[in-house]
A and B are shown apart, each in its own frame.
Chain A
Amino acid sequence: MKHLDEYRDAAASQSLITDIRARATRPWVLMDVCGGQTHNLVRYGIERELADCVELIHGPGCPVCVTATELIDFAVALALRPNTIVASFGDMLRVPGSSQSLMQARERGGRIQIVYSPLDALALARQHPNAEIVFLAVGFETTAPATALAVIQATKLSLNNFSIVPAHVRVLPAMETIMRMPDNRVEGFLAAGHVCCITGFEAYQPFASRFRVPIVITGFEPIDLLRGILKTVELLETGQAIVKNQYSRTVQRQGNLAAQSIIDQVYEVDDRDWRGFGTISGGGYRLRAEYSLMNARQKFADVLPPKGRGDVDCRGADVMSGKIKPKQCPAFATTCTPQSPLGAPMVSSEGACAAYYRFEPLPIKVPS
């Protein structure tokens, strides 16, 4: 596939790895912000390959992992509500709520339809005019235009049986939260490429200066990741706390203006409770008042659950802020596995714990 296969080339990867080794004079601590990056860093063995010269911390960039328990509980309650269908991305189905996941709710008769796109949920609303269709709108800035577009289209089409649970989160406030933690270890960021497709990276420069941390906009394929790491190491070695774009084939400085205006039309910035992190100021989007008819929180306020109690045994926040590696969590692969997860990072395919469990279940000796 064009624009994909070129960036999985083995020989080029090897020379990038050689370059990174040559450049790094000490083991720098880099955070990959996006779960998709985590997934591929582990899947392609890049993390292990570079273990001697770069320490990679897997940031909070998995919206599935940081969606508050209370929102899962709400979705579960909606799925069990008569005449209601919850439409969701496949990612959310196995995430534990405070008592059950959507998957478990489905086993108990809850109506849940997996969709590939929020806009497919509109088709569902048209097919079932007598049922309520509620879309669980999770995701970072990357996904917000799609759900906003669904809201706009539903309004234009007067689909009164469609609504969303607004659960979008914003990535920069989370990066800031991590930098402000007293025991923060992050020395450089691989910023999330597809988020930046939408937002651009103008806001990153003041951030980089304020926290004296280099930020490199990074893609997802092995070569993209290695180029991002190499650039970050170069910036660190030369003491430059600036922003560089290593994903220039898709990301422009000002981002996608059309996408931003679609988000703006429907959402406004709001504080948001992040699972494991607590409330992050400006950490999410809420629906604008004009669209309150599409807001499931208002429409179905009668089934809104009490605030979740949080995950008692899960150290997900420590993992996502880089304090510990998944394997350092006492529950990892013992009481917490993908079959019976204690926290969301073990269940989401992008979650750091699941990525380690999937791709690095055991230490590997290099075969002779």
Chain B
Amino acid sequence: MNAPMSPLACPRPTTSDQTITLAHGEGGKMMRNLIRDRIVSKLGETNVQRFSDAACVGTIKGNVAISTDSYVVSPLFFPGGDIGTLAVHGTINDLAMAGASPLFLTLSLILEEGLPFEVFDRVIDSIAETANTCGVPIVAGDTKVVTKGAADGMFLNTTGVGVHHDDQRMSAKQIQPGDTLVVSGPIARHGIAVLAARESLEFMPPPASDSAALHRVAADLQSALGNDLRTMRDATRGGVAAVLHEWAEESTLAMWVDEAQLPLLPETRGVCELLGLDPMFVANEGTFVAAIASHRTEDAISVMKTHSSCGDPAPIGYARRREISPVLVSRGMGGDQPLDEPIAAMLPRIC
């Protein structure tokens, strides 16, 4: 409880014990305490390495991979994840999809003045737990505070360092006509979960994000399939459609998909129908597409099935020589339809 205010008291309540203030980013005692008590203590305990300004990580053998990504999401929490899980999973996945094993992460926080500590702590707890589960320590970090209105609660950036497996070079250029396109699980879950939470669409049960780390399944696929695994990509913004367009462009082939084969949870389907969204364009955060030499399709699927991050893997189509359109969809009506490239995030529609 606040003490009754005297008439001379500052009219602006000081809430530094409950919320982030500009002072928390100004390099003084408050900032030191914040980092020590609310970040390092949590990340340091749950991770092998000690969290610091500049971590010394020793010698890394092999082909080093680096990836960086920033995370902004509104709301910060949604069913199936939060900005913290995204920041850990997202960067791990970027490394994993490039064929690298993640070794360390750094974490940079940009906080909006007035952010309640309760929210801050929840996110840090989530980051610590996620990094711990993934077995990837967070070794260095930074904190900045910006004035109210200059950020939406908090923005995160993570940078990941990893090392490539063998000399295997995965790339969309390796895709051959006839290769199978496999998707690792039900699509469109993340985009629908965030949209439903942000726009208060009040679905029951609330749709959940697929936020998950893919480094373990990626490593297993690489070792099981070798060069028969041509390439992988997590289908984040722009969804599966964006991945297929990128691959079509890089490989100069066409990507053909049978719409009926796309794994889709019934609830995702229901929401997509209701809001007029095409699930192929909706974002995922732990679901990926892999291009696989067709005779190894079954092997790839059985590897995926041993990982909880993969829901219900399924072959959805194949690569073939390009006629005209880069990406084609069969909707069961005879001819194939060209699928356009995602332009901007889809908005729910009534028309």
Contacts and interface: CB of A to CB of B under 8 A. Distances in A.
A176 interface: no
A73 interface: no
Contacts of B335: 45, 48-49, 364, 366
Interface in B320-351: 320, 323-325, 331-338, 340, 343-344, 347-351
A365 B348 contact: no
A343 B350 CA distance: 19
Nearest to B331: A44
Interface string B189-221: 000000000011100000000000000000000
B337 A4 contact: no
Contacts of A89: 348-351
B337 A363 contact: no
A90 interface: yes
Contacts of B50: none
Output the residue of B201, B275, B332, B344 with the most chain A CB within 10 A.
Answer: B332
Given A45-B334, A361-B340, A349 B276 contact: yes
Nearest to B269: A1
A360 B338 contact: yes
B135 interface: no
Contact of A116 (B273, B275, B320, B343): B275
Contact of B347 (A14, A49, A93, A367): A93
Categorize the interface residue count of chain A. 35 or more
Interface string A232-268: 0000000000000000000000000000000000000
Interface in A337-368: 338-339, 348-350, 357-367
Q: Chain B binding site: helix, strand, loop or mixed by DSSP?
A: loop
Given A43-B331, A45-B331, A91 B347 contact: yes
A119 B276 CA distance: 18
Given A45-B331, A49-B335, A362 B325 contact: yes
Given A1-B273, A114-B347, A49 B333 contact: yes
A10 B349 contact: no
Categorize the interface residue count of chain B. 20 to 34
Contacts of A94: 344, 347
A4 B201 CA distance: 22
Nearest to B199: A114
A41 to B, nearest CB: 11
B69 to A, nearest CB: 23
A49 B324 contact: no
B332 A367 contact: no
Contacts of B331: 8, 43-45
Contacts, number: 104
Contacts of B201: 116
B147 to A, nearest CB: 16
A120 B203 CA distance: 13
Given A1-B269, A49-B333, A348 B338 contact: no
B351 A64 contact: yes
Interface in A202-227: 222
A303 interface: no
A117 B338 CA distance: 32
Output the residue of B323, B333, B335 with the most chain A CB within 10 A.
Answer: B333
B270 interface: yes
A344 to B, nearest CB: 11
Nearest to B335: A45
Interface in A316-353: 338-339, 348-350
A115 interface: yes
Interface string A27-56: 000000001100000011110110000000
Contact of B337 (A14, A43, A63, A349): A43
B333 A367 contact: no
Nearest to B266: A1
Contacts of A114: 199, 347-348
Given A35-B351, A114-B199, A114-B347, A364 B275 contact: no
Interface in B257-277: 269-270, 273-276
A139 interface: yes
A-B pairs, top 10 by smallest CB distance, nearest first, are A90-B347, A10-B332, A90-B348, A350-B351, A91-B349, A358-B340, A45-B335, A44-B333, A89-B350, A365-B323
7 contacts: A113-B199, A116-B199, A348-B351, A349-B351, A359-B337, A360-B338, A367-B323
Given A139-B351, A357-B340, 14 more contacts: A13-B332, A45-B334, A45-B336, A63-B351, A91-B351, A114-B348, A116-B348, A116-B350, A123-B200, A348-B351, A359-B338, A362-B338, A365-B323, A367-B320
